[in-house]
Amino acid sequence: MLIDNKSIAIVGGGPAGLTLARLLQLKGTDVKVYERDFNKHARVQGSPLDMHEDSGLAAIRKAELLEEFKKTFRPGADRTLIMNEQAQIFFNDHETKPEEDFGEEHFRPEIDRGPLRNMLLESLHPETVVWDSHFLTMERLNEGWLLHFKNGTSEYADLVIAGDGANSKIRPYLTDSKPVYSEIIMLEGNVSKENAPQIDAMIKGGKIMAFGNTKNILLGQKGNGDLGFYASFKADENWPADSGLDFSDHTQILKWFKTEYSGWSPVWDELFENAVTPFIPRLIYSMPSDQTWEAQPNLTLIGDAAHVMPPFAGEGANMAMLDALELSEYLTNNSYSTLQEAISDYEHHMRKRAAIATQESLENGERMHSEKSLATMLDFFNGHITSL
């Protein structure tokens, strides 16, 4: 294989990086994952993910982890309520959603990020992940790269694969492309079900999507019962600083919510009154659809480092894991004479499909924040239209 006797450094231990490490180890390659977290317990993992048949689940199957996935995914977590701002239910598939199973095209099983990460970590050889490795810089050395980390260590790799997310520090070594702001911000919060009893009684382990006045509230219940939620709205890119809000202050955030979400039912207040602080403003970005760069023989990108994916089509983790699957196939394909050729073909195909998914997601985001958002979502979930 092209990567025989080559050392591979994956920077970033998210779904893309860990999936790629697993797939490459199944091929017998020498791979390390450099992750900035101090250890696997350093951060609470975010909202649940739905895995798609031709991307996330395809990668899990290839990684020989489908049986483990079946032990940890959450049946019923994809049940959905669609509401207006007054918490009136317009769509409820808790009783009517047909039973689906693995292998069916539209089956999208949900899994919490933490269990997904743990499943991938446990599948790797001991000491594959080098924790507390916050990437700073790298420089060319021989045919590869010498990477430097904040903890003072340096490591050499023949091939570097950047899976270090939307704010990738490695992307500039390959391309000048920069993320473009979508004009949408999602204010993230997390609250225990005990502190949001009205919402907990409605959500019943699934999802809630509420639309009104060009704004959204999007919720998903995690395996431990906690409610992860987002207040999603359009705002200037400088809003987090210009708002003057202290995101650790419940009183300020609740006052902001009551003002900006004027007319919304008081039922939503318990989310903002009782959430774990700080709230986190998530600015939604995407990469230019026409981005391109010259392929290198010793460096490439996966996941959000390659294509920052807006969240409005559920494609982020799925595209990232598909990157890992496809890159592993290109790197171990004996039909290529050089790594540069293999990487070039991977990147060309990856950019093309990522651009399509990004455009779909951006268009969904616009529809979800339009005056007709509720009607559009109802048409989609009731099957009157096939895409948002």
Please report, in range form, the residues annotated as the binding site for NADPH: 43
- Cβ within 8 Å of residue 23, ≥6 positions away: 59, 62, 63, 324, 325, 328
Distance of alpha carbon 209 from alpha carbon 220, whole angstroms? 9
Cα atoms found within 13 Å of the Cα of residue 6, Cβ hemisphere only: 24
Coil, strand or helix at 301 = strand
- Cβ within 8 Å of residue 231, ≥6 positions away: 186, 187, 189, 215, 216, 217, 257, 261
CB 324 within 8 A of CB 302: yes
Of 345, 362, 358, 369, the C-alpha closest to 2 is 345
The helix (H) or strand (E) run that includes residue 10 is: strand 7-11
Distance of alpha carbon 323 from alpha carbon 55, whole angstroms? 9
CA 7 to chain centre: 27
CB 195 within 8 A of CB 240: no
Residues of each annotated binding site: 43, 50, 113, 304
- Cβ within 8 Å of residue 127, ≥6 positions away: none
- Cβ within 8 Å of residue 169, ≥6 positions away: 135, 136, 137
Residues of each annotated binding site for FAD: 50, 113, 304
